[in-house]
Amino acid sequence: MAKKISAAERVRALCLALPDTEESLSFGKPHYKVSGKIFAGCEEIGGEAVLGFKLEKPAAAALIAADERCCPAPYVGKHGWVAMKLVGAVDWSAVRGYVETSYALIAPKKKATARAKAPAPRRAKSSATSKRSKRAPSARG
pLDDT tens, position by position, 33-75: 999 999 999 999 888 999 999 999 999 999 999 999 999 999 9
Q: Burial code of 27-41, b = ≥16 C-beta within 10 A, e = fewer?
A: eeebbbbbeeebbbb
Domain ranges of the chain: 7-134
Cα separations in angstroms, 66 against 54, 98, 99: 16, 15, 18
pLDDT tens, position by position, 82-117: 999 999 999 999 999 999 999 999 999 875 555 455
pTM: 0.76
**Which CATH number applies to 7-134: 2.60.40.10, 3.40.50.2300, 3.90.1150.30, 3.40.30.10?**
3.90.1150.30
**Which range, 26-30, 121-125, 129-133, is most confident?**
26-30
Instruction: Determine the pLDDT at residue 111.
Output: 57
